[in-house]
Amino acid sequence: MSYIQADEHGIKTVTGNNWRLIHNGVQVIELAEQDFEASAGGTTEIFIADTKEACEAEIARLNLIKPEHLK
Amino acid sequence: MITKFNPLNAKKDTGRTIGDNEVAKLANLNRMVDQVNTALAGGGGLGTLDIVTEGIIGYNPNFQYSTYAYPSGTVSGSQSVEVSAIPSIDLSAQGDGFGANSLTSIAFTTLKYANYIDIFGYSELTTISAPKLLQTNALQFSALFSLHTLDFPSLTKCTGIQIRGDSPFSITTLNFPALQSAAFNVSNGYCGIPSISNAKFSALTSISLEGNNVSDFVSVDLPLATEISYSGFSYNGSTFTTLNVPNIVVVKTSYIDFSSCNNLTNVTFGTVGTFKRFVVNGNSPYISFQYCNLNQASVDNILKVLASLDGTNGTTISLYGSLYLNGGSNASPSSAGYNARNILQSRGWYIATN
């Protein structure tokens, strides 16, 4: 379990097959198991883990709000 | 019927002496009451439900209607029944009624309002019409394998339109010239309408869509549409090739999913300068064209349009969202598309491209 660090341009890029929690500190932007390269910047964080449960625990820890399509 | 205002009652209610001004006001109120009562009694939906049918109905037609005020009733053949509230109408060919499958035409001649109209299973039915129907929550037509005409010339709003068939059938005449807002559901088997287009729905400006794997559904082509409505905008299926909504101004759903349309090549989802904002109650938009066959112009257009929501030119900035343009045979962005992608990512969007 870890957060992807930003590069010199402030962009976080995730690769490999993993569960991904994408959030902005307030709400969940995405929660899914994915295997393709994707990126985000700004205040968006990318948390990766081996299981969905680990991502859900992070959601609970940060008290993040889930969007409608993930409820 | 709404009772009219009575000067004597009004005097009791207000405790004031009735003078000319009060009488004039009451007269105006009573004229409004007359108009409402006329509308209520004036034909169909509220007052009278007229059904005109052609073809053999059979002794067990199973035409059901119901309203909130009275129990369900049955209509056999062409009939006019009194209803005291907006009816819900189920016309089903279930059962073994003699000649039930020979019904060829159904017309609701005076119906103005309906909760829904659900017609199922009449294999010889070619035409359904409701010339005065103004609004309904749903039109559902299923297993009508000979259906070729839907005639709803007065319908302005329909929360749900669902057409389903189990074998190829073609609706050649769609008459919805006044329909401004509709939610379409195309799923299971065949829908009989290859394209939801302004050619077929000339007044349609607000749309939502859901469905999947319909063998004869090819495109959404609505250059007049200005709004994607709150019910969602999604379709997944291999025959779908074109999505064209260039003049969208506002998107009211956070869920847009055309993933796995592996023959979807041409997408124009808004235009820079025209598309202004998402209105999604704080949800971040989810937009997926994963595993499609988007050409580069389509990929670039999507990226540029979303990047243009920067808080200038009347737009509302869209800080967060997830956008999937990867997988399948989707083209990679051009340099201009990459620039737009970088802008979105810097803003906070989570994006995947090929």
**CA of B241, closest CA in chain A: separation in Å?**
24
Q: Which of helix, strand or coil describes residue B130?
A: coil
Put simply, whether B311 touches A (Cβ < 8 Å) is: no
Chain A residues with CB inside 8 Å of B321's CB? 29
Q: Greatest CA span in chain B, whole angstroms?
A: 81
Selected residue with higher pLDDT from A61 and B146: A61
* Chain A hits for B322, Cβ within 8 Å: 22, 29-30
B330 touches chain A (CB under 8 A): no
Contact: A40, B284; criterion CB under 8 Å: no
What DSSP character marks residue B46? S
Distance CA A47, CA A50 (A): 11
Q: Is B230 on the interface with A (CB under 8 A)?
A: no
Pairing state of beta strands B250-251 and B277-278?
Answer: parallel
Q: For residues B351 and B341, is the Cβ–Cβ distance under 8 A?
A: yes
Nearest-Cα residue of chain B relative to residue A21: B350
C-alpha to C-alpha distance for A2 and B180, rounded to whole angstroms: 49
**B142 confidence band (pLDDT: 50, 70, 90):** confident
Tell me if B218 sits within 8 A of B194, measured CB to CB: yes
Question: How close A1 gets to chain B, by Cα (Å)?
Answer: 19
| Sheet arrangement for strand B266-269 | B195-197, B219-221, B242-245, B266-269
The more confidently predicted of residues B114 and B334 is B334
The token pair at A16 is 């490999």
Report whether B175 contacts B195 (CB < 8 A).
no
CB contact, 8 Å: B349 with chain A?
Answer: yes
Confidence of residue B208 (pLDDT cuts 50, 70, 90): very high
Tens digits of per-residue pLDDT, B160-178?
898 887 776 778 898 999 9
Residue B252, both tokens:
């009211």
Tell me the percentage of chain B whose pLDDT exceeds 70: 78
Three-state SS at A12: strand
DSSP labels for A25-70? SSBEEEEEEE-S-EEE-TT-EEEEESSHHHHHHHHHHHTPBPPGGG
Q: Which of B252, B287, B306, B322 to mutate: most A Cβ within 10 Å?
A: B322
Instruction: State yes or no: pLDDT of B196 exceeds 70.
Output: yes
DSSP states along B196-264 = EETTTSTT--EEEEEEEEETT--EEE-TT--EEEEEEEE-B-TT--EEEETT--EE--SEEE-TT-TT-
- State the pLDDT at residue B159: 85
Is pLDDT of B43 > 90? no
- Model pLDDT for residues B44-54, shown as the tens digit of each residue: 445 567 777 77
For B159, the token pair is 């929360």
Averaged pLDDT, B279-288:
91
A13 touches chain B (CB under 8 A): no
Q: Chain B contact for A11, CB < 8 A? A: yes
Output the pTM of the full model: 0.83
Please report the number of interchain residue pairs, chain A to chain B, with beta-carbon separation below 8 angstroms.
69
Closest residue in B to A65 (Cα–Cα)? B283
How open is the CA angle B47-B50-B52, to the nearest 5 degrees? 175
Q: What is the pLDDT of residue B51?
A: 79
Instruction: Give the pLDDT mean for B223-239.
Output: 95
Give the pLDDT confidence score for residue B14 in this predicted structure. 42
The bridge status of strand B322-325 relative to strand B286-288 is parallel
Q: Tell me: pLDDT of B21 over 80.
A: no
Over residues B17-46, the mean pLDDT reads 49
pLDDT at B123 (0 to 100): 82
Q: How sure is the predictor about B30, in pLDDT bands with cuts at 50, 70 and 90?
A: low
Residues of chain B with Cβ-Cβ distance to A47 below 8 Å are none
Indicate the residue type of B41.
A
